[in-house]
Amino acid sequence: MSAETSTDHRDEAEVSAEQARDGRIAVRLWAFIRPYRVLFALCMLLLPVASALSLLQPHLIQLAIDNHFVPRKEEGLGLLVLAFAATILAEFFLRYAQIYLMELAGQRALRDLRCAVFAHIQRLRIAYFHRNPVGRLMTRLTSDVDSLQEALSSGVVTIIGDLFTLAAIVVILLAKNWRLALVTFAVVPVLLGVSFVFRLLIRAAYRVLRTKIARLNADLQEAVTGMGVVQLFVHEEASKAAYDEVNRDHRDAAYKSIRWDAVLYAIVEMIGSIAIAGIIWWGAGEAVAGYATLGVLVAFVEYVQKFFIPIRDLSQKYAVVQSAMASAERLFELLDSTEIIEDAPDARPLDGFEDRIEFRNVWFTYTDEDNWVLRDVSFTIDKGERVAFCGHTGAGKTTIIGLLTRMYDIQRGQILVDGVDIRELRLRDLRRRFSVVLQDGFLFAGSLRDNIAMRAGEVDEARLREASAVVHLDRLIERYPQGFEHPVRERGVNLSSGERQLVTFARALAHRPDVLILDEATANVDTETEALVQAAVEALLQHQTSVVIAHRLSTIEKVDKIVVLHHGEVAESGSHAELLALGGLYARLVELQYTDPTRRGADA
Amino acid sequence: MSRNRQLLRYFVKSWPSFAAGGVALLATNLLALSIPRQIGAAVQHLRDAADTASIDVSAVESLAWTIAALALGAAVARVVSRVFIFNAGRQTEYRLRNELFAHLTRLDRAFFERSATGDLTSRVVNDVTFVRLMFGFGVLHVVNTAIAYVVVLSLMLSVSPKLTLYSLLPYPIIFFTVRLFTKAVYTRTQAVQAQLSAISARAQENLSGAMVVRAFAIQDRENDAFRALSDEYVERNLALARVRGALMPYMGVIGGLGMLIVLWLGGLETIREGITLGEYIEFSAYIVTLAWPTMAMGWVLSMWHRGTAAFDRLGVILDAKPSVAPPATGALHLPAISATSGEIQFEGVSLTYEDGTEALRGVDLTIAAGTTVAIVGRTGGGKTSLVHLVARMRDPTAGRVLLDGVDLRDVDPVEVRGEIGYVPQDPFLFSMTVEDNIRLGERPGSGLTVDDAVRIAGLSDDVEILSNGLQTLVGERGVTLSGGQKQRVTIARAVMRAPRVLVLDDALASVDTRTERRILDELAAVMKGRTSLVVTHRFSALELVDEIVVVDEGRVAERGSHEALLALGGIYAGLHRRQQMEEEA
Ligand SMILES: Nc1ncnc2c1ncn2[C@@H]1O[C@H](COP(=O)(O)OP(=O)(O)OP(=O)(O)O)[C@@H](O)[C@H]1O
Ligand SMILES: Nc1ncnc2c1ncn2[C@@H]1O[C@H](COP(=O)(O)OP(=O)(O)OP(=O)(O)O)[C@@H](O)[C@H]1O
Ligand SMILES: [Mg+2]
């Protein structure tokens, strides 16, 4: 628990850095509150009015006593009663309005924040997701935003009102008797000191708590998605134990925050009462010495009691604020993460693909330069050409596709589309030139239609039917009573793996890309369907530029060019015939397939 | 068990903490309430002194000390009470989450297919939070409010029972009206939480499909959808705020009405000398203090109903019954493993999914112990559904599946799975190291080490390339491995078991031919005398099998050796012809 130890040894520079950071967070939160500032201001105005009304009620009782009960006069009392009823009603409406407006403003401001965070996540590069578990990001989007929400609805904004009340009382006290006032204020440095120390403690506790809850969610989310595997390998007990550990950590972190909250709240309460005791004690002496009249002293005690009400309120909101700040820190950290692949300021549009794609001496690594995944890779893909990549598993085939669609940026060399470095192109334009069938076909929960069409309005009904027919999905879709509206479950779990691949294939086709990219697109599909699909695709998309990765070499023999990758390097490239003649790696791979016993059996 | 009984159970589990906290809270209130009295005494003293113009400093000083001492005592009691009660809330939360998790591990595949991951996690995370607040803050405020009522009411009663009665006149209204509020709080809370679940589910999908989202550049669509869900969330929250926000001010009105009646009726009586003026004045001072606990009661009510609404949402998980479960009585055991074990029989097995898809229709099939059988067939034919049954990922809707002569439903699923090495069609890895992922399959007495498994699965070369070898972290679902590497880790994991039955569901689809051949050779050695079921689309894998079973449209369409099936000229011959055509074209 590094967060704790670091707070113990925090020096002044760090403390002021911390304050500066709080300031920055506040400024940034303001950006989200600003659009609703009128609503917030209204809330802040309503609150004192409502309080004033509730103060009016004792006054009305006072009037009744003085004007009616003492002189025993009945007439006119009805009017007072009516006035009293009016204050009750007015107070109801004011308070209700205040609560509702606060909710309205808060909810909207935080919706904006939530959407901003989500939108930012959409811009993050894919590598970010390899390091940050989904569950952690989910925590940001839900419970961190909710913790800010809680702060807003619990009336953090009214703190400003509390501060005004405080200032007013301070002025009154000073005017009444500055010496006594100073005695009273002697507790202020103590209060400040206490809240300062506790701010650090409470904030540290909440920081740990936020980390733990994110961890808890990440573990839960992973366990839920992998429950099938957990059960297959009879790992229920172990995974329960692991979850229990994280859960316990989270609870213990919460215990710590509860402790500091409770101590702070109790101390502030105590200081209030002790200050009053101090005034009584000191004031008595003052009175004896004649510096203060006793009347002033009585008034003082009463004012000081009032003085501590807002302070107590503040201390109660303190924990909520600290929790919210800890969440805000995390949210802004995420919003600030620069792991985005962004368009260059002068990025060029790319309306179509005209000529050729070129990899020029590309070097790439996912981690560091000791672990190159691609080394000095060069090749070209001409318009209308069909290019296949093959090589052993882990050779870097999928990686090349990731680079082409700029999921990752390369370390050395250049990738050019029509002679322009892809880093100078508009990312969206670039990606829309390609349609990719990824190795693990990902489907969204929703209808089959949505999964194939993806972006509303871009794929019409005819295209949809055509694409599904080409990949032989029509048979399946006919079986469903709802046809294209058949609901697909999360990740497509209610389809067979082959069917899933065919859906992603249809998706790629329906978008009529300039370049079709197939990464093991039919690996889980039977050979018959595969052959039919292949033939149909060829018929549909003549002269389609395409990039194909396949382990079943039989499926790529007919392409124009085969690039053989070996340990991240281009070992050889050329047509099927050329490579066979070369007698290198490819020839050996093919030979292996030709020793296929079933094939021999058939030949015999 | 009814919900309230269930809640009570959680309460009882933490009763020592709640009790200790309650006692401390009582002490806090008593001490804190006596401070104003001391201050009052001191002020009175000063007033008297002002009248007589002389002051007894030592008496005032002792009062000051008393106040300070009381303040200190109250502070200590306050810390104790809050720590105990809030900790008990957290303890309940901890317990509830563990129970939810434990129950999730018992639920079957069908449940997880039905549910959205984001929805489940949202329930465990967000709904449990509301239950915790009900237990923590709820209890704190119930006690506080109750004490405040008792104190204030007893003070009021001591002044004038009659006025007290007047002031309580409006309270019965609460019983008739408050139900309207609380019911709405309940249903609207559920609506809010359901929407939060929807947001979570959407975000969860977007995040796990990050690659597709980027590849198809559908960020705008995603942003719009998320925004729409968030807008709806705001609307539902506001709908909730309209009732929840009214509850406290409404209770304020009830309290206010009490005062009004006292002012009106009590006032008249004072004028007509039913009660003395002094009584009235004192009474009116107390009645103002009654307003606070009344408002707080509204708060407690809304917290309770929000908590129960959230708790009831947990029922989706807690009340779900796994359809694959150990037999209620007299579980049988699989016979001990012998020279040849692993006979699998399907007897009239049918499987219909919840949406009505008939994946298997009366499959009769016996797989002899110790053989290697390939299962082939067209996409969607039912191969995966068939092998799922072997590991009891599901139970058949009709017929039965026997392993070494025992109906699987008579055996604890845990025991069955312990005997099976299963490589699923979609490789799933946990975000741990490669080694830990492989060790998941570890079984005492299997006699295999991680290194053996790595070699058998053909991973040795890859492990050398990986940045940290076996200690490389693989990321969620194994994203930082190549497709073929992922598959082979899952093979290594299954092999680690040295299982009675090994199931490979299209497990070599992302592996090149050479590696595939090597793995199959190694597996043949390990699986000698055991049964292997190899689902595959590749003919190159059929070299080592004893028999080929063709599954089509949920039935066993053909079975036999490669040659026999070719001679039959059916589905298998068709599949094979296609592949040949490809190769020769
Ligand atoms: N996100 C990542 N982070 C780190 N390393 C990675 C990542 N993705 C892939 N690698 C590594 O890069 C190498 C090449 O992976 P790639 O997915 O390109 O292989 P491939 O040729 O497509 O293999 P396969 O045929 O098995 O799909 C592998 O060794 C893999 O472990
Ligand atoms: N959970 C599910 N709910 C509803 N239908 C399902 C579910 N899982 C599979 N199906 C359907 O049942 C049929 C058989 O599916 P199964 O996964 O067994 O096929 P398969 O033979 O393994 O296919 P593949 O070769 O593509 O892996 C398919 O039509 C599929 O759509
Ligand atoms: Mg399958």
Which residue, A359, A360, A413, is CA-closest to A387?
A359
Residues A248 and A126 in one domain: yes
B487 C-alpha vs ligand 3 centroid, how far in Å? 14
Phi and psi dihedrals of A67, rounded to 5?
A: -95, -20
Please give the C-alpha separations between residue B300 and each of B88, B89, B235, B430, in angstroms, as whole numbers.
17, 15, 24, 43
Chain A hits for B117, CB-CB cut-off 8 Å, are 221, 224-225, 490
B:304-343 residues touching chain A, CB 8 A cutoff: none
pLDDT, averaged across chain B: 86
> Which range, of A571-575, B124-128, B462-466, averages the lowest pLDDT?
B462-466
Averaged pLDDT for residues A77-96:
88
Residue with the bigger pLDDT between A391 and A62: it is: A391
Residue A155 near ligand 1, beta carbon < 6 Å: no
Distance CA A244, CA A236 (A): 12
Q: Is A26 on the interface with B (CB under 8 A)?
A: no
Closest CA to A504 of A522, A489, A484, A490: A522
Residues in chain A: 604
From the list A107, A135, A432, the residue facing B234 with the nearest CB is A107
pLDDT confidence bin for A153, thresholds 50/70/90: confident
Determine the pLDDT at residue B50.
Answer: 64
- Of A132-146, B45-59, B163-177, highest mean pLDDT: A132-146
Q: Which of A298, A551, A564 should we substitute to test contact with B (largest number of B Cβ atoms within 10 Å)?
A: A551
Q: Does B530 touch chain A (CB under 8 A)?
A: no
- Chain A contact present for B37, CB below 8 A: no
Q: How many helices (H) and strands (E) does chain B have?
A: 22, 10
Residue A318 and residue A287 share a domain? yes
* Cβ-defined contact of B211 to A69 (cutoff 8 Å): no
Distance, CA of B494 to CA of B517 (rounded, Å): 18
Q: Using an 8 Å Cβ cutoff, are A403 and B492 in contact? A: no
Q: How confident is the model at residue B88 (pLDDT cuts 50, 70, 90)?
A: very high
B514 — contact with chain A (CB < 8 Å)? yes
- Chain A residues in contact with B284 by the CB 8 A cut-off are 58, 61, 65
pLDDT tens across A229-240, in order? 888 888 889 899
Mean pLDDT of B359-370: 91
- Give the DSSP letter of residue B478: G
Of ligand 2's listed atoms, the one at least distance from the Cα of B551 is 21
A88 belongs to a structural domain: yes
Q: Decide if A582 is inside a domain.
A: yes
Q: Residues A324, A381: one domain?
A: no
A596: contact with B, CB 8 A cutoff: yes
Interface membership of A55 toward B (CB under 8 Å): no
In a domain, A343, yes or no: no
- Least-confidence region, from A77-91, A197-211, A588-602, B74-88: A588-602
A16 burial (CB, 10 Å; 0-12 / 13-18 / 19+) is exposed
Q: Does B561 sit in the ligand 1 pocket, CB within 6 Å? A: no
Is residue B445 pLDDT above 80, yes or no?
no
Is A273 found in the same domain as A237? yes
| Distance of residue B442 Cα from the nearest chain A Cα, in angstroms | 9
Delimit the domains of chain B by residue range.
92-318, 344-584
> In this predicted structure, what is the pLDDT of residue B521?
84
Give residue-wise pLDDT tens across range A432-488. Answer: 888 888 887 888 888 898 888 887 677 888 888 888 888 888 888 888 888 889 998
Q: How far is B253 from chain A (nearest CA, A)?
A: 6
Ligand number nearest to the C-alpha of A503: 2
Nearest CA to A287 out of B35, B39, B51 is that of B51
CB contact under 8 A, A527 and B426: no
B contacts of A557 (beta carbons < 8 Å): 582-583, 585
Torsion of CA A573, A578, A584, A587, to 10 degrees: 110
SS (H, E, C) A116-139: HHHHHHHHECHHHHHHCCHHHHHH
Closest residue in B to A89 (Cα) is B253
Note down the domain range covering A148: 23-335
Amino acid (1-letter code) at residue B87: N
Over the Cα atoms of chain A, what is R_g?
A: 36
Q: CB neighbours (10 Å) of residue B52?
A: 9
Interchain contact, B271 vs A255, CB within 8 Å: no
Instruction: Give B425 Cα–ligand 3 centroid separation in angstroms.
Output: 6
Buried b (16+ CB within 10 A) or exposed e, A477-511: beeeeeebebebbbbbbbbbbbbbbbbbbbbbbbb
Q: Rounded to two decimals, what is the model's pTM?
A: 0.89
Minimum mean pLDDT range among A552-566, B47-61, B465-479: B47-61
- Ligand 2 site, residue B359, Cβ cutoff 6 A: yes
**Higher-pLDDT residue of B223, B256:** B223
> Taking CB atoms and an 8 Å limit, are B207 and A233 in contact across chains?
no
Cα three-residue angle B149-B155-B161, rounded to 5 degrees: 100
What is the number of residues in chain B? Answer: 585
The encoded tokens of residue A564 equal 């053989």
Least confident of A3-7, A138-142, B581-585: A3-7
Long-range Cβ pairs for the range B36-43 (8 Å, 24+): B38/B63, B38/B66, B38/B67, B38/B70, B39/A276, B39/A280, B39/A301, B39/A305, B39/B67, B42/A280, B42/A301, B42/B67, B43/A298, B43/A301, B43/A302
B114 lines ligand 2 (CB under 6 A): no
Atom 16 (ligand 2) nearest CA: B382
**CATH-assigned architecture of domain B344-584:** 3-Layer(aba) Sandwich (3.40)
Please tell me the residue having the least CA distance from ligand 1 atom 29.
A394
- Does the Cβ of A253 fall within 6 Å of ligand 2? no
Which numeric CATH code is attached to B92-318? 1.20.1560.10
Query: Which two tokens mark A471?
Result: 């990949």
Are A325 and A369 found together in one domain?
no
A588 CB within 6 A, ligand 1: no
Which of B352, B357, B375, B538 best tests ligand 2's pocket when mutated (most atoms within 8 Å of CB)?
B357
A277 CB neighbours in chain B (<8 A) are 63-65, 67-68, 71
- Per-residue pLDDT for B64 more than 70? yes
What proportion of chain B, given as a percentage, has pLDDT over 70?
97
Residues A182 and A203: their CA atoms lie apart, in Å, by 31
Residue A234 CB neighbours (<10 A): 20
Q: Is B95 near chain A, with CB under 8 Å?
A: no
DSSP A340: B
Number of domains composing chain A: 2
Joined tokens for residue A559 = 């392409």
Q: Do A393 and B483 touch (CB under 8 A)?
A: yes
Q: Is the CB of A498 under 6 A from ligand 2?
A: yes
Q: Is the pLDDT of residue A1 over 50?
A: no
All residues of chain B having their beta carbon less than 8 Å from the beta carbon of residue A254 are 90, 93
Cα(A232)–Cα(B413) distance, integer angstroms:
9
The C-alpha of A17 sits at a distance from chain B's nearest C-alpha, in angstroms, of 31
Query: Chain A 521-560, CB below 8 Å of chain B: which residues?
Result: 523-532, 534, 551-555, 557-558
pLDDT tens digits for A380-428?
Answer: 999 889 999 988 888 889 999 999 988 898 999 999 999 889 989 888 8
Q: What is the rounded distance in angstroms from the CA atom of residue A396 to the CA atom of residue A515? A: 20
Assigned domain for A517 exists:
yes
Give residue-wise pLDDT tens across range B228-241: 999 999 999 999 99
The burial class, CB within 10 Å (0-12 / 13-18 / 19+), for B225 is middle
Does A399 share its domain with A324?
no
Beta bridge partners of B423: B504
pLDDT at site A319? 81
CA–CA dist A483, A466 (Å, integer): 14
B86:A439 CB<8 A = no
Select the residue of B72, B106, B234 nearest A270 (Cβ to Cβ). Answer: B72
Indicate the SS3 state at residue B146. helix
Q: Which atom of ligand 1 is nearest to the CA of B484?
A: 26
Q: Do A57 and B256 touch (CB under 8 A)?
A: yes
Task: Report the share of chain A in percent with pLDDT over 70.
Answer: 92
A and B: number of Cβ contacts within 8 A? 527
Confidence of residue A9 (pLDDT cuts 50, 70, 90): very low
Q: How confident is the model at residue A10 (pLDDT cuts 50, 70, 90)?
A: very low
Is the CB of B485 within 6 Å of ligand 1?
yes
Q: Which residues, at least 6 apart from B254, have a Cβ–Cβ distance to it below 8 Å?
A: B170, B171, B173, B174, B294
Interface of A with B in 325-384 (CB under 8 A): 366-368, 370-371
List all residues of chain A from 102 to 121 with a beta carbon under 8 Å from chain B.
103-104, 107-108, 111, 114-115, 118-119, 121
Averaged pLDDT, B342-366: 91
Ligand 2 lined by B353 (C-beta under 6 Å): yes
A232 touches chain B (CB under 8 A): yes
Tens digit of pLDDT for each residue in B181-197?
Answer: 888 899 999 999 999 99
Q: How far is A238 from chain B (nearest CA, A)?
A: 10
Per DSSP (E only), the strands in A78-182 are: none
Q: What is the CATH number of the domain that holds A174?
A: 1.20.1560.10
Judge if the beta carbon of residue B461 lies within 6 A of ligand 2: no
Alpha carbon nearest to ligand 2 atom 18, residue: B382
